[in-house]
Structure 1
Amino acid sequence: MLSMHGASVGYGNAPAVLREISLTVRPGRVLALTGSSGAGKTTLINAMAGLLRPRDGTVTVDGQPLRDRDHAVEQRIVLIPQDNGLAPILTAAENLQVALVADGVTPPGARRQTAAMLDLLGLAGQADQLVEELSGGQQQRTAVARGLALRGSVLLADEVTSELDAGNRQRVLELLHGEARRGAAVVFATHDPEVAAACEAELHLVEGRAEIIRD
């Protein structure tokens, strides 16, 4: 379980972007993280992913302080970043396979899981295309496929439906809810009110602070 207690987060010497944030990401649920552009959604996701250390307060996983991104990976905290984080000179399939092999999956197993996951995201026909040749929406779905394939205990998804049409947006949302049913804790940063309404809980960021809309 991932928790934040009184956390303030910022960059360099600039004023804190987020102040006194407290939340708990519960297994088996999807938490929608909402707020206007610049409200701090990505900053909060990055703090939960171990990429940013809070200036004050704590971020803990299973009661232990989250040290950094390497520690987060060890604790099965999977991040699907807003910029997709894919290697553009690798194919869609290679991006998944590299991540799976690094996670301890055998190469044959990685190939099987990659094929199944890309098919699930409607990308079987793009498996051998370079990421740089894919559309923005196809890149987003590839990043989602990779994140889902890693089967984290916590899944952090940052605006991963912003370039998708209605059908693919619904497909991704259903898959994220499927991860929650598997027992993962899912945090989904989104600016789409319809997507947020489909989640079990919602945390809204405004002026650097968090308001619980639904819990």
Structure 2
Amino acid sequence: MLSLHGVSVGYGDAPAVLTDISVTVRPGRVLALTGSSGAGKTTLLHAMAGLLRPRDGSVTVDGKPLRDRDHAVEHRIVLIPQDNGLAPILTAAENLQVALTADGATPPEARQQTAATLDLLGLCGQANQLVEELSGGQQQRTAVARGLALRGDVLLADEVTSELDAGNRQRILNLLHDEARRGAAVVFATHDPEVAAACEAELHLLEGRAEIVRG
């Protein structure tokens, strides 16, 4: 279980972006992380993912302090970043296969899981295209596919529907709920109120603070 206790985070010597944030990310649920642009959604996800060390308070996983990103990966905390984080000179399929192989899958397992997950995202036809040849929406769906393929215990998704049409937004929302039903804890940063309303709980960021709106 991933928990934040009185966490304050910021960058360099600048004032803290977020102050005194406490929340527990619960298995089997989708938590919507909302707030205006610049409210700190990405900053909070980075703290949850072990990419940003808190100035105050603590981030714990299974009751122990989260040390860094490597420690988060060991505890199967998967981050789907807003900028997709894909290698542009690899194909969509290769991006998934590299991640799965690094996670311990055999090459045949990685190929099988890649094909199945790309199919879930409607990307079978783009499997062998270079990422740099894909549209923004296709790249976003490829990044989601990679995150889903890793089957994390905690899945952090940062604005992963921002470039998608209504049909694909709903497809991804359904898949995130499928992950929760599998037992994962899901945090979904979104500026879309309809998407947020479809989640079991909502944490809203405003002026550096956080408020549980639902759940």
For Structure 1 versus Structure 2, the TM-score category normalised by the shorter chain is over 0.9
Aligned to 1:136: 136
Classify the secondary structure of the residue corresponding to 2:8.
strand
Aligned to 1:87: 87
Aligned to 2:25: 25
- Shift of residue 22 of structure 1? 0.2
1:14-39 Cα shifts (integer Å, max 9, x gaps): 00000000000000000000000000
TM-score, scaled to structure 2 = 1.00
- 1:1-215 alignment to 2 at 5 Å? 1-215=1-215
TM-score, scaled to structure 1 = 1.00
The share of aligned pairs that are identical, in percent, is 88
- Letter in structure 1 aligned against 2:11: Y
- Letter in structure 2 aligned against 1:125: G
Classify the secondary structure of the residue corresponding to 1:85.
coil
What RMSD in Å do the two structures reach over aligned CA positions?
0.3
List alignment gaps of at least 5 residues for structure 1. Answer: none
- Shift of residue 9 of structure 1? 0.2
- Shift of residue 192 of structure 1? 0.1
- Letter in structure 2 aligned against 1:161: T
- Shift of residue 206 of structure 1? 0.1
- Shift of residue 86 of structure 1? 0.2
1:56-114 Cα shifts (integer Å, max 9, x gaps): 00000000000000000000000000000000000000000000000000000100100
- Shift of residue 143 of structure 1? 0.3
Separation of aligned partners in 1, 2:162 and 2:193: 12
**Number of residues of Structure 1 aligned to a counterpart in Structure 2:** 215
- Letter in structure 1 aligned against 2:164: L
Separation of aligned partners in 2, 1:115 and 1:4: 36
- Shift of residue 127 of structure 1? 0.2
Separation of aligned partners in 2, 1:127 and 1:33: 31
Separation of aligned partners in 1, 2:44 and 2:184: 19
- Letter in structure 2 aligned against 1:199: C
1:106-163 Cα shifts (integer Å, max 9, x gaps): 0001001000100110000000000000000000000000000000000000000000
- Letter in structure 2 aligned against 1:119: D
- Letter in structure 2 aligned against 1:23: V
Query: Runs ≥4 in structure 1, deviation > 3 angstroms?
Result: none
List alignment gaps of at least 5 residues for structure 2. Answer: none
